[in-house]
Structure 1
Amino acid sequence: MTSTHAPDTASAWPTHSPEFIGDLEGDAAALAEYAATCEALLSQLPPKQDRDASQQSLADAVFGASRDARRSFLARHTEAVYDALTAGRSRYLRLPELVHAAADRFPGLVPTRAQMESEYARIQAERDGREMDQGIFCGAVLHSRAAGTHLIEAMLLPTPRSLELLDEFRAAGRVELASLLVERHGSAAHVTFRNAHCLNAEDNQLIADMETAVDLVLLDDQVRVGLLRGGEVDHPRYEGRRVFSAGINLKDLRNGAISFVEFLMGRELGYINKMFRGLLVNPSGHMWSDRATQKPWIGAVDAFAIGGGMQLLLVMDRVITEEGAYFSLPAAEEGIVPGLGNLRLTRLTGARHARQVILGGRRVRMTDPEARLLCDDIVPAPDMEEAIELAIRELSAPAVAANRRMLNLAEEPLDQFREYMAEFAVTQVVRAYSDDVLAKVERRWQRSRSKEGGLK
């Protein structure tokens, strides 16, 4: 039976944190024992939503101490742990597989599947934030040049789902996924968001579908250019109109349906990085040009590109917008980090303007002079199709792919990306569980329920 009071810390709390000496197996055993003691103490507490102040204070102390132990362990053993999980970097594990393997091989290092299933059954505010332990692990792996580079390459490989659908796409030139549509028209593949119920906002399903779509575009030899555009939505204000993207689905974030590994890390290391760096099709090759296939991408923005939608435009080779559109990265309002926007926006617009957008919430309208730093063509809505076709013809030129690869190499070297992602892994997951973020998404959810008559 769960206790209704905080346990006696004098008898339950470990006398000291483990002292790691540099021996992997011995230190792993010490960590496992310490983590088990911490978990035994936590198991005596009620669920988070039922704890009183003293119980929550104890839980915070236990989680904090166990996380310090994990950081200390990883400071000594990150590369050895990664090599143990990947057979000396001879196996490529995608991030979800890597995290699960770490839980099995090194007990106490990251949450178990059962612990995460228990977390996923609750809304974000009622969780203990075990994803933060996953963030500590991911950050440590990415901080290591050897392990981090190998993980990045693992995430650039085609997914099993895309390989299963490849023959169908090559034959039919069309694949319909749950939240988007991929169609080949001539030399271009049109990827269209179809999350109509939420203004094409990003959720776990869309992230998974986008990676499949990007893989198909990059694997199909008949495709020379990828086009990303929002489909028509059913929101009363925009009904029947195309909308590019409303960014992260904040309702899903509040309800605990935005995962750290699959969404927050997966989109950056997965499909967006594939758009930017290409798809790894020959891991044993020497030069990157021999190992990966890359193609130029066009972003066509109708109505607006908010948050994650705007982040996508920062890796596009051509951005076309209708005259009335606007961009924004409302990081200050949402309270989370806008993906790689902090890294990529500055080099396009300059540091001062980037701070106005990210820290101050400034919207970029197509009538603003700075809009020209973020897009190539601003056209009346009726002229969007013509502008898109012209861009496809121009970017289909044979030398485009090679030159965009060299531009991207100069603008964002792999080590710069890896080091940013190492910090992002820890910072973003902490922000996702911060009190101010939880309060903001709850207020927005309550307002939404009020508007919808409490039906959702």
Structure 2
Amino acid sequence: MDAVTVEIVAPHVALITIRRRDARNAVNGAVAAGLDRAVKAVEVDPDLWTAVLTGEGGVAFCAGADLKEVSAGRMQDLYTTDGQFAGFVKHHRTKIWIAAVEGFAMAGGFEIALTCDMIVASESSVFSLPEVTRGLIAAAGGVYRLPRAIPRALAFELIATGDRISAARAAELGFVNKVTAAGDAVAEAIAFAERINQNAPIAVRESLAVARRAYDMADDDLFALGLQGQDRVMTTEDFAEGPRAFVEKRAPQWKAR
């Protein structure tokens, strides 16, 4: 079986699954290449509006880099040109990605989850950036994405200690959107995606394109970016459909064009 699979599980929703259960879904070359292909496949498919990313088995979302591969001198295989680590953490994405976390999201696995736009986690989930306990650094985004997601002092604490944090605490801090019963994260993430898909997909996409840059740009630049997105939305069929459906007292029929 492929190390990463892509399935259509609901209208406009793709489920991407890392399938290395015996290795706690750790990232090797096959996973990196598979995730790289999955991002590109979702991006080019106009009928896919949201993607849910998970790991099989229920024990681990992803345990990070496969240290057996690293120790064997195959560290470079864990990176792709477009996505960098895991073929994912630096990929340009316009579609919405939701991490569905069951079990451990450790090191690079946590960084993959943080790269997604939203996180749904089961109550058994645990998050950690333990790199410093092994003389390493969470260089695949953890050291800057976590301080953007939670209060600065708490992010510094987790980065500097490598301590684990539960799904419940993660939800309190705000980097997990919803906590589910064990085994329900994928189903809840798909339902979450379907809820998002009730809205105009291009409008959602353009809105999050600005939101993702909120920490990178000055207010005036962000304001201009928002206006550019609005201009693009106003040229779409969906822009006319929204008000028309309201006037006609019916649900809008979005076309993503």
TM-score by length of 2: 0.75
Structure 2: distance between partners of 1:230 and 1:269: 13
How big is the shift at 1:202?
0.7
How big is the shift at 1:266?
5.0
Structure 2: distance between partners of 1:261 and 1:193: 14
**Structure with the larger strand share:** 2
Based on CA coordinates, which of the two structures has the bigger radius of gyration?
1
Match of 2:21? 196
Match of 1:392? 193
How big is the shift at 1:309?
1.0
Cα–Cα, structure 1 residues 226 and 340, in superposed 2: closer, same or farther, change >3 Å?
same
Deviation string 1:181-239 (CA, Å, 9 cap, x unpaired) is: 1111221111000012211001122111110111001111110101101112xxxxxxx
Match of 1:256? 73
Q: Tell me if 1:300 matches 2:100.
A: yes
Cα–Cα, structure 1 residues 223 and 410, in superposed 2: closer, same or farther, change >3 Å?
same
Q: What stretches of structure 2 of length at least 5 have no aligned partner? A: 218-257
Structure 2: distance between partners of 1:369 and 1:388: 16
Kindly indicate whether the alpha-carbon contact (under 8 Å) linking 1:349 and 1:370 is maintained by their aligned counterparts in 2: no
Q: Tell me if 1:183 matches 2:183.
A: no
Structure 1: distance between partners of 2:171 and 2:163: 11
Question: What does residue range 131-280 of structure 1 map to in structure 2 within 5 Å?
Answer: 178-185=2-9, 186-232=11-57, 241-259=58-76, 262=79, 267-268=84-85, 271-274=88-91, 277-278=92-93
**Structure with the larger helix share:** 1
How big is the shift at 1:352?
1.4
Specify the code of the residue in structure 2 equivalent to 1:220. D
Deviation string 1:66-106 (CA, Å, 9 cap, x unpaired) is: xxxxxxxxxxxxxxxxxxxxxxxxxxxxxxxxxxxxxxxxx
How big is the shift at 1:256?
0.9
Match of 1:128? none
How many residues were matched structurally?
212
Match of 2:207? 403
Match of 2:142? 341
Kindly indicate whether the alpha-carbon contact (under 8 Å) linking 1:348 and 1:373 is maintained by their aligned counterparts in 2: yes
Structure 1: distance between partners of 2:78 and 2:25: 21
How big is the shift at 1:401?
1.1
TM-score by length of 1: 0.43
Match of 2:236? none
Q: Once the two structures are aligned, what percentage of the paired residues are identical?
A: 25
| Other structure's SS at 1:410 match | coil
Moved more, 199-208 or 368-377: 368-377
Q: Tell me if 1:362 matches 2:166.
A: no
Q: Tell me if 1:327 matches 2:144.
A: no
Deviation string 1:340-395 (CA, Å, 9 cap, x unpaired) is: 11111111112211221111111111232665422000011254354223211222
Q: What stretches of structure 1 of length at least 5 have no aligned partner? A: 1-175, 233-240, 279-293, 414-456
Structure 1: distance between partners of 2:194 and 2:171: 26
Kindly indicate whether the alpha-carbon contact (under 8 Å) linking 2:110 and 2:128 is maintained by their aligned counterparts in 1: yes
| Other structure's SS at 1:298 match | strand
| Other structure's SS at 1:299 match | strand
| Other structure's SS at 2:213 match | helix
Specify the code of the residue in structure 2 equivalent to 1:256. G
Specify the code of the residue in structure 1 equivalent to 2:99. G
C-alpha RMSD of matched pairs (Å) = 2.4
